Amino acid sequence: MKGCARTAVILMVVGLALIVWAEISPDGAAPDFTLPGIDGVPHSLSSARGKYVVLEWFNYDCPFVRKHYGGGNMQALQKKYTEAGAVWFSICSSAPGKQGHYPAEKMAELAKQRNVASTAVLLDPDGRVGRLYGAKTTPHIFIIDPEGKLIYQGAVDSVPSADPADITSAVNYVRAALDAALAGQPVEKKVTAPYGCSVKY
C-alpha cells in the first residue's frame, strides 16, 4: 500500500510537471498534441505532418477575436489556406467557468453561426496545449511547416486594436508568412508581439 501511495504521489507530481509553460524559439520544433474537436473526434498535430498547420487561439467573447470574426477576416484566412492545402486548428483554452469556455455542443453551434472554416475547432479546457505553446492572447497564431518546425508565432496583423476598421490598413502577418512559405520563400517575420485578451487559463 505504501509503495502504491508513493507511486500515486509520483504520478501526480509527474502529471503536474506535464502542465508546462513554454515558449518555443523561432524555428523550434512544434510539440505534438492531441485534442478533442467539436466534431467529437480527436485531432493531433502529428496526423497533419507533411502539411502546413496553423494554430489559432480564440475566445469568441474576446473583443479582439470579434474584430477578426465579425467581418469575416479570420474565416477568409481559414478558407483560403485550407483550400491551399494547409490544416487549420482553431483552439480554445478558456478554462471552465472562465470567459469563452463552452461545452462542445455549444461551441459547435457558435462556430457554425460564424461560418468558421477551420479544419477543426479544438477544445483545450485544461490549458495544457496553450501552455505548451506559450499561447498568451486571443487571437495568437502559430504556423508550423510540413517538417513540424514553427515558422511563425504572433499576431494576426500589425495593428494592435479591437477596431475592425483597422484590418484593411494592417499588414496581415498570417498571410505574409503562409504566402512566403507556400511559395518556397523564407518567412520574413517569424515572431511578432501578439495582441488581445489574455488566454483565460
Q: Which residues bind another protein (CB under 8 A)?
A: 21, 23-26, 28, 61-64, 98-99, 127, 131, 136-137, 153, 160-163, 190-191, 193-201
Non-local CB neighbours of 73 within 8 Å, separated by 6+ positions: 67, 156, 164, 167
- For the bound state, the minimum distance from the C-beta of residue 81 to another protein, rounded and expressed in Å, comes to 23
d(CA 166, CA 160): 9
Measured from the CB of residue 79, what is the shortest distance to another protein in angstroms? 27
Q: Tell me how far, at minimum, the Cβ of 168 lies from another protein, in Å.
A: 15
Comparison of 48 and 187: residue with beta carbon closer to another protein: 187
Q: How many CB atoms lie within 10 A of CB 105?
A: 10
When computed from its CA atoms, the radius of gyration of the chain, rounded to whole angstroms, is 17
Decide whether 25 or 46 has the Cβ nearer to another protein.
25
Which of 80/189 has CB closer to another protein? 189
Whether the CB-CB separation of 65 and 139 falls below 8 Å is answered with yes
Return d(Cα 192, Cα 201) in angstroms, integer. 22
**Contact, 201 vs 131, CB < 8 A?**
yes
> Nearest approach, Cβ of 50 to another protein (angstroms)?
26
In this structure, are residues 107 and 118 in contact, taking their beta carbons and an 8 Å threshold? no
Least distance to another protein from the beta carbon of 30, Å?
Answer: 14
Which residue, 68 or 136, has its beta carbon nearer to another protein? Answer: 136
Distance CA 188, CA 28 (A): 16
